[in-house]
Amino acid sequence: AAGVASGRRPESRDASRAMEEGHELLAARERELLRAASISHHESPPPLGNFGEALTVRATRELLQEAAGAAAAASAEASVAMHAAGTVCSLPTTTATVSTTTAVANNLVAATDVLARRDPVLSESVHNNLRMVAESIGAIGAAQQLLRDACEFAAVHEVAASSSSAHAQSQAQSHALAFCATQRAAQGLADASAAASSAAQAATAAGLHRSLMTKSVSPVAEPATDLTHVTAGIDSLVRDGTRRVLWCWLPRSSAWTTNELLERPTRAVASCRAHDFIALPDMPLVRELVEHWSITDYGPDCLQTQNVLWFDPQPEETSEAADSGPAFATIISVLKAYRARAHEVEGSSVALFCMYPDADIAKLAASFGLRCLGDLDAHPVIGSLRQAKSFLHPSLAHPGRPSLRDAALGELVRGPRGYCCTTPEHLEEAWERLTTADPAIKLVLKPSNGSGGAGVVLDVTREDVSELAQQMRCAQQAAWAHKGRFSFKALDEETIVEEMIGTRSCPSPTVYMVGSRVAVVADQLLTPCGTVNLGNVSPATQVSPSVIRAISSACVELGKHLNLSGQWGADFVLDERGMSFMVDLNMGRPNGSLSYYCWRSRQPPPETNTAWSAAPRQRTLAMAVSTCELKGGQRLSCLAAALKEKGLLWDSTRGDGIVLAQHLPGVPGGGSVLAASWEGTDAASRILEAFRKHIDAQQASNLS
């Protein structure tokens, strides 16, 4: 479009190179998918239900192979078109290419139609999505025609002489019309290609997934697959070769609240080993927690009270605090306290682990002889890791910005369709583009910097979008009215409009990563509305081993693609066909349960006894992490004593019980408790339920 506007004709060499690159991707993709389809040819076909006369085994396999191959071709051709359109000014696809691809997509629709009549899994909605592939690729042909007409029109008038002002004005109008036509065509091409690509990928994944799957995706018992390699060693992975860690998890806000100071730093208590240092606010509830961990048998290698670096929860007003906020000023005071005790760790490697590391903190740590663990906030691909959710989708404000679609996640995992928006106009445009490409689509609104599901709105309507757009306009006007007096940072944050996948009760696994290494795969505990995270359970049992392998592989590839080294995580949702969607990225800070999984990785199994030898031992300590909201004034020592009396407190010789990881009585949302058992996730869940009943009974007794 820019080339047409400037009168420059596109270089044919660029177009040719773009097509070569695109078709190399096409060939590789087709080989991979057809190889998978060939493998499924030799395996037992999936059941087709009792709808009419069942297809023969051979016919079923052939149709699945045809569907997989056709979907591969349709999807890859759409990817080629998108790649080429983003590389050169004009669309370097021929009419023959568009016709061939459309025919392939129609073959896919026909093949799937046969299966849909006999297999209830391929529902009408799936069939309609596949039909959209053919229609979308036809839209590519229409866009190509508009582009070719616009380019030819501009080229003709480029050499035409302007003999009069009227002719010049007419020529300028013609150029403007050509430019607008090209812009509209490019937008239509992008939308059609994206819709075709996502639908074809979903269809291909569904076919291959159903062919290769041997177990249901519904909740299952403990997976038979040995997943020990997934969770073993997360503590050592996080430490990255460092013997001692200085844990300094501070809130990021410029004005700390009491609840933040109680919650953020104490998350790290469980991860702290005997030789580590930890920075904690000097507050009564925090001291109570430290005392509890010092006298309770939570394992052989836990927090030592003499290694706590206490800091003032209300730092003095200094020039450092005024310029950088209380967190940076507190880190300086913590590092000074550490340096006063540096003789205790002479000869040992020590690293600083902050909750929100950035270049300034890394430079400060280096001045004290420490390195900084984790990925710094400024990332060369994503930008700010604090807004990693924005990487899930292309940006309407910055079309050339990298996004998840640039990463190879495998054929059984993809991201939802959607856009990142910075203005109310972009928000409304995103709604129009997504609903136009797929009128049946359901959408979600969420902030790019949210965590724990905060701010997420499911199944939004046009009225929801209009209301949010109006709020954004009011915020803009307020910022302009006060320009020069303060910086309205909210305008720099993005709002995400994305496809809503699955249902509120569908499985939602989460993967904890360290760089490109899988550390933990867990099932998320969500509120009934499905938007707020209450904790998680590991090992994951609500999805099949094949799904765990698929999402783990996707995370490994993404970690390599982004060259990450620190801890990060991704959340997934499964649709009704069993395909996995990466719906959330958590980067730039330690994920919520990281500290607790570090504690778990250091726990030895209980000593062998008669009871244990009678049943197969679970090779990973199962753990359910959940929030716990206690009434204000609850003493931790009294709670621990009551739990111990009832046999609910963690007992290392028994190998199960409750771990009181945080103590935040009276704080909304509460602290965290761990229900752990070597007998599996069902046993851990029963312990958690018994704990909740005990808390409810205790609070009811206090009220009476």
Contact 484, 416 (CB under 8 A): no
Which pLDDT value is given to residue 584? Answer: 92
Q: Which of 388-397, 437-446, 474-483 has the lowest mean pLDDT?
A: 474-483
Q: Residue 479: what residue type?
A: A
Which pLDDT value is given to residue 43? Answer: 41
Cα angle 129, 135, 138; round to 5: 150
Higher pLDDT, 554 or 107: 554
Q: Residue 274: what residue type?
A: A
Contact 296, 640 (CB under 8 A): yes
Which tokens sit at 598? 């570090």
Q: 510-525 pLDDT, tens per residue?
A: 999 999 999 999 998 8
Q: Is 381 exposed, middle or buried (0-12, 13-18, 19+ CB in 10 A)?
A: middle
Cα angle 392, 393, 398; round to 5: 130
The CA distance from 558 to 555, in Å, is 5
Contact 64, 213 (CB under 8 A): no
The CA distance from 514 to 4, in Å, is 46
Query: Residue 618: what are its φ and ψ, rounded to 5°?
Result: -75, 125
Which pLDDT value is given to residue 114? Answer: 52
Q: In the predicted model, what is the mean pLDDT of residues 597-608?
A: 86
The CA distance from 394 to 406, in Å, is 10
> Between the CA atoms of 561, 563, 564 and 569, what dihedral angle is there, to the nearest 10 degrees?
0
Which pLDDT value is given to residue 628? Answer: 86
pLDDT confidence of 250, banded at 50, 70, 90? Answer: very high
Extents of the domains making up the chain: 2-212, 242-373, 383-586, 604-703
Q: 549-597 pLDDT, tens per residue?
A: 999 999 999 999 999 999 999 999 988 777 899 999 999 999 989 999 9
Q: In the predicted model, what is the mean pLDDT of residues 375-396?
A: 92
Which pLDDT value is given to residue 478? Answer: 72
DSSP code for 452: T
Q: Residue 185: what residue type?
A: A
The CA distance from 148 to 468, in Å, is 39
Q: In the predicted model, what is the mean pLDDT of residues 538-555?
A: 92
* Cβ neighbours, 10 Å, residue 384: 17
Contact 512, 522 (CB under 8 A): yes
Q: In the predicted model, what is the mean pLDDT of residues 10-16?
A: 44
The class that CATH gives domain 383-586 is alpha beta
- Name the 3-class secondary structure at 694: helix
How would you classify the pairing of strands 413-414 and 580-586? Answer: parallel
The CA distance from 143 to 138, in Å, is 9
Place of tokens 């605090």: 321
The CA distance from 249 to 357, in Å, is 10
The chain-wide mean pLDDT, for the chain, equals 74
**177 Cβ contact partners less than 8 Å away, ≥ 6 residues apart:** none
Query: CA nearest 144: which of 192, 75, 201, 73?
Result: 192
Report in angstroms the alpha-carbon separations of 93 from 25, 72, 132, 182: 15, 18, 20, 15
328 pLDDT exceeds 80?
Answer: yes
Write the DSSP assignment of 320-380 as a string of letters.
HHHHH-HHHHHHHHHHHHHHHTGGGGTTS-EEEEESS--HHHHHHHHHTT-EE-S--SEET
Q: Residue 438: what residue type?
A: D
Q: Residue 318: what residue type?
A: T
120 pLDDT exceeds 50?
Answer: no
Which tokens sit at 258? 């009491």
pLDDT confidence of 648, banded at 50, 70, 90? Answer: very high
Q: Which of 135-139, 361-365, 441-445, 536-540 has the lowest mean pLDDT?
A: 135-139
The CA distance from 63 to 68, in Å, is 8
147 pLDDT exceeds 60?
Answer: no
Contact 45, 211 (CB under 8 A): yes
Which tokens sit at 8? 């420059």
pLDDT confidence of 98, banded at 50, 70, 90? Answer: low
Query: CA nearest 240: which of 668, 566, 634?
Result: 566
Q: Is the peptide bond before 539 cis (omega within 30 degrees of 0)?
A: yes
315 pLDDT exceeds 90?
Answer: no
314 pLDDT exceeds 90?
Answer: no
DSSP code for 495: E
